[in-house]
Each structure stands twice: as structure tokens, then as C-alpha cells.
Structure 1
Amino acid sequence: MLTYTSYSEAGGVGKTTLTANLAKAHVERGHDVLVIDLDQQRGCLSHLLGVDDNRSDPDADTIVHHMVDRPQGEFEDLIRTTEGIDVIPSHDSLEQLDDWLTKAGDYQATTEDEDWEYPRNEQLRRVLRENDVPSQYDVIIVDPPATAGPHLYNGIDATRSLVIPLELTGKGDQSVEGLEELVAGLEAQLELEVGVLAVVPNGFKGTSDQDTYLDTVDELTYDVPVVLRERGSLFEGCWRQQCTAFTYVDEHRSRKRDHEMETLEKIRSLAAHLEAEAGLKGGDDK
């Protein structure tokens, strides 16, 4: 089984676009895939994949209700399916996840010993385990916001692994330099070992400055299996049509463009690399 959280401490690096397309690549390779969208922002994966129509419904059951042990329905009813990808969509209630977890902890503390501490960062994993989700999927991906907090921490606790997109700029270079420190900090915060399955330089344009930053990335102890070139037109089209790049090329392009097909193949290659890291066989080899 393959589980990972897509995370970058910097916004605007294509994290959500990469996550959606990796999910589709895993599906193409014959796997059952669940993506859990914990990003409360409007430009989230649920919007990209067109499954965010209930995000403002105050009466909707949400992943937050289940994480604080107050479900309003069955867990399986949270799931929406698009392009073969099962998605637990984002909801406005995620904006109050921190407060909801605090209240849930305070309530449960009344029935526990005084030294008991509410495991607020373990609630997503609890929900997945209690609903037997790991036995139903080959791949589980969590897409949290690009900020530290209970969304990120619950995602990492549930998956124990990261895929980290990076921008090849001066700002991104600072992220590269602090990457190992960042991971160590997450491990200390959560008191568990966090694996980095891949670092993915994104938006590469081939400038001399970016070549310099790419050399820095190559010095990382983490795997850098692919470098994704800048594909603004392709990925902007995905957001406009609310679909993955694979569907966009198949259904919304009048002709196949070689450079876009190359990008799709790199995403497939990245998906295969992540599966291999987890010992997950693809396609007919399952």
C-alpha cells in the first residue's frame, strides 16, 4: 500500500495540481485511489476536480465531523468519484478544524485520567482505521494546506510519508536548504519517523539561475525522480475545465502536443517511482 501527503511550506508551487495528476496516474496504472482534501482554501483539489459543490452546505456531513467523532452519516457517503479517483472533498468546516479538535479533546478529557492527552493529530488515522479504509485502497493521498497545523499533522500522521514539490527560484532555494530541517521538525512535532518519497522540482524553465538551483536539489539525500517543466497553458486549462491534465489533453485539446505528452509521461514515471518505493505493484502485476 502507498500512502503519502503532498506538502510544500511555500504556496504557489503546483502542489494541488501535482497531487490530482499523480492520483490520476495511479488510477491509470490500475490502482484504487483515495484522495483526502484537507485544504480549506477555495483553490483546492476538490475545486480542481469539480467535487466541491457542497463545500458551503452547513448541513453536509464532512471529514471534520468524523475526525471529532461526531459523524452525521456513513463515512462512505463522504466519497465522491471523478475520473476514477475517489475524493473526500474539502468543506468550509475545515477552517475551524483546530477549534473543533480542541473542543473534542476537552469533552473527552472529562472521562479520562488527569494525565491523559487528547491525540489531536491522530484523528484522521483513527477514522481511516475504524472504517477499514486501508483494505479498500492501494493508494491514499492527503492534500493539506501549505501551513503547519492540525490539517498537515493529521495528514502526515495518517500517511507517514511526504511528496514535496519545489519551485526553482531563490525562494525555492531557501526551501531546499531547509528541507531536511523541516522534515526533522515534523518528526519531532509528531514523534514519528516521516519518509520523503520524492522531491519534485516544478515549473522548470531552463534558465541559468534555475540550473544553479537544480544543482542544489541534486545534492539532497532525498530522491528527485523527475523535473517537471513549466506548463502554464496545460495546467491553467486543467483548472478552467476542472479536470486532470490527462483528461484535459484527451478531451479538450484539438491535437496532442509533444511537450505536454512528455509532461504526462513524467507524471506517470513519478507515480511508478512512488509505487515502487512502497513495494506496490502496478497494472497486471498486482
Structure 2
Amino acid sequence: MLTYAPVSEAGGVGKTTTAATLAVSHARAGNDVLAIDLDTQNGSLSYLFGPEYNRGDPTTDNLVRHLVGRPKGTFADLTHSVEHGVDLVPSHNMLEDVHEFLLNEKDQAEKLGESYSMYHQLHRVLNEADVHGRYDVVIIDSAGKAGPLLYNALVAVRNVVIPFEATAKGQESIDGLDNLVGGLEASVDVDVGVLAVVPIGYKDTRDQEEILEELRESGFSVPVVIGERGSLMEGCWKQQCSPYTYIEQHRSRKRDYELHTLEQFDELARHLEAEVGLETKEVIA
């Protein structure tokens, strides 16, 4: 089983579009894919894939209720089937208060003399729902900043993919993520691996070439390098779909460089699948 979270401390590097594109690529290869949206922002997987639901209704079942042990239904009932059969657990406004909810649960457990880890609750929910038995791939799109949502995501998946802006600022985000992951490993006793670094918006400048070389020399896996694709990604957000659907349904003229970008994301998805021994079943042309 392949599990990971696209993570970056820097904003605007394409974390959510990377998650969405890879989720669809995995599904097109015949894998059963679960995507979980833990991002509290409106510009998230839930918006991009566009399922019909009310993210502001506190009375309906949502992932936060499951995290604090007060579900109104099964985990499977939370999922919405979106592009190419990807199952999506959408975001909900209650995620904004998840820290307070989890602290309350921790306080109650301690008063009863019980142990309680705030960062293992998503892992518990996924295990109880037998997600490992039902899906080949699980991708969690979480908030970039440190906190209970990101920590729950990392404990649940144990692996990250880093969308990366090949600039000095981007280099700082890589260093910061190393510190973040190291701190999490120390505090919750889990190992978190970096499956791949994905340079996005690459323009092939000398400075960018030097940064890529430094990344590879540091031992990071850099399977693909994505060029500047602002128009494609903006179109995806406008039409609320992945790049695959956008090019197929909303481009009157196919652009070779955009088709090449899809090929690169497919290459990245196959690389990630190979890391855990997932075999490609059938890629949709």
C-alpha cells in the first residue's frame, strides 16, 4: 500500500494540485485511491474536485467527529466518488477547531487515567475502517503549518512528497521540513520518509540547476522536474478538475508541453507506486 502527504512549508507551490493530479494518475493506473482533505482553506482538494456537500453544517457527519470518537455514521459514508473513481473525504469547517477538540479529548482521557495521543487519531480512524484493506493508495492533503492536522496526517501515512520551488526560498522550505519531520519523529516515535521532491515551475536557470544538484547530492529523490504551468493549473481551479480532465474536456487545442506535464506526473506516480511494490494494472490513455 502507498500512503503519503504532499507537504511544503512554503505557500503557493502547488501542493494541492500535486495531490489531485497524483490521485487521478494512480486511479488511471487501476489503483483504488482514497484522498483525504485536511486543509482548512477553501482552495483545497474539496474545491478542486467539487463534490456536493455542506462543509459548514455542524450537524452532519464529518471526519472531525470520527477523530474525536463521535461519528454519526461509518467512515465509508464520508467518502465522495470524484474523478476516475477517486474516493474523497472532503474538508469541513470543524477542522479549524480540531486542536481544541483533541485537547478536550486528551484532558478527559487523562482525568480517567488513560493515555491519549492527539497525533494518532487519524491513524486510529483509518485502521478501524480497514482502509489498508480497501485501498491501494491513500493521499492526505493537509495544512502546511505545524499542528495537529499535519501531525495526524504524517503519523497516518509516514511518507511525504515535497512540491518544491527551486529558489533560495524553496531551499529554506526543504531545510525547514527536515527540522519539522525530525521533531515529529522525536515527539511521536514514528519514522517519516521523503519519497520524492518535485520541483515545480522550473525555468532552467543556473541558480535552479545548482539547487537541483544540491538536492540530489543530499540524497533526495527527484524523479521529475515540472516546468512553469501556471495557465494549466489556473484552468484546473477555474473548472474544478484535475489537469487530465481539463486538457481532455476544456482545451480545444492540445499543447505538447501540457501533455508532457501529464506524462511527467504519470512518471512520478509510477515511481511512487514502485517504491512500495504496487504494480501498474492499466493506464487509461
Give me the TM-score of the superposition, normalised by structure 2: 0.95
Q: Out of 118, 121, 140, which is 1:120 matched to?
A: 118
Instruction: Name the aligned partner's letter for residue 156 of structure 1.
Output: L
Q: Residue in 2 aligned with 1:201?
A: 199
Q: Residue in 2 aligned with 1:49?
A: 49
* Other structure's SS at 1:283 match: coil
C-alpha spacing 1:178/1:75, structure 2 compared with 1 (3 Å): closer
Instruction: Name the aligned partner's letter for residue 278 of structure 2.
Output: L
Q: Residue in 1 aligned with 2:161?
A: 163
* Other structure's SS at 1:71 match: coil
Q: Residue in 2 aligned with 1:89?
A: 90
Q: Residue in 1 aligned with 2:68?
A: 68
Q: Is 175-184 or 221-230 further displaced after alignment?
A: 175-184
Instruction: Name the aligned partner's letter for residue 4 of structure 1.
Output: Y
Counterpart contact for 2:235–2:246, Cα < 8 Å: yes
Q: Distance in 2 between matches of 1:178 and 1:143?
A: 19
Instruction: Map Cα deviations across residues 229-278 of structure 1 (whole Å, 9 max, x no partner).
Output: 11001010000000000000010001211000000000000000000001
Q: Distance in 1 between matches of 2:30 and 2:276?
A: 15
Instruction: Name the aligned partner's letter for residue 12 of structure 2.
Output: G
Q: Distance in 2 between matches of 1:39 and 1:52?
A: 17
C-alpha spacing 1:18/1:191, structure 2 compared with 1 (3 Å): same
Q: Distance in 2 between matches of 1:225 and 1:260?
A: 18
Q: Does 1:259 align with 2:257?
A: yes
The structural deviation recorded for 1:179 is 4.6
C-alpha spacing 1:177/1:103, structure 2 compared with 1 (3 Å): closer
Counterpart contact for 1:6–1:19, Cα < 8 Å: yes
The structural deviation recorded for 1:196 is 1.0
Q: Does 1:184 align with 2:182?
A: yes
Q: Residue in 1 aligned with 2:218?
A: 220
* Other structure's SS at 2:272 match: helix
Q: Residue in 2 aligned with 1:12?
A: 12
Instruction: Map Cα deviations across residues 141-181 of structure 1 (whole Å, 9 max, x no partner).
Output: 11110100110111111111111111112211222344543
* Other structure's SS at 2:36 match: strand
* Other structure's SS at 2:223 match: coil
C-alpha spacing 1:106/1:52, structure 2 compared with 1 (3 Å): farther
C-alpha spacing 1:216/1:178, structure 2 compared with 1 (3 Å): farther
Q: Out of 151, 154, 167, which is 2:152 matched to?
A: 154
Q: Does 1:243 align with 2:244?
A: no
* Other structure's SS at 1:237 match: helix
Q: Distance in 2 between matches of 1:108 and 1:183?
A: 27
Q: Out of 130, 133, 136, which is 1:132 matched to?
A: 130
Q: Distance in 1 between matches of 2:282 and 2:78?
A: 30
Task: For structure 1, list consecutive stretches of 5 or more residues without a partner in the other structure.
Answer: none
* Other structure's SS at 2:234 match: helix
The structural deviation recorded for 1:104 is 1.4
Q: Residue in 2 aligned with 1:268?
A: 266
What is the RMSD of the two structures over their aligned residues, measured on CA atoms?
1.5
Percent identity between matched residues is 52
The structural deviation recorded for 1:117 is 3.3
The structural deviation recorded for 1:75 is 1.5
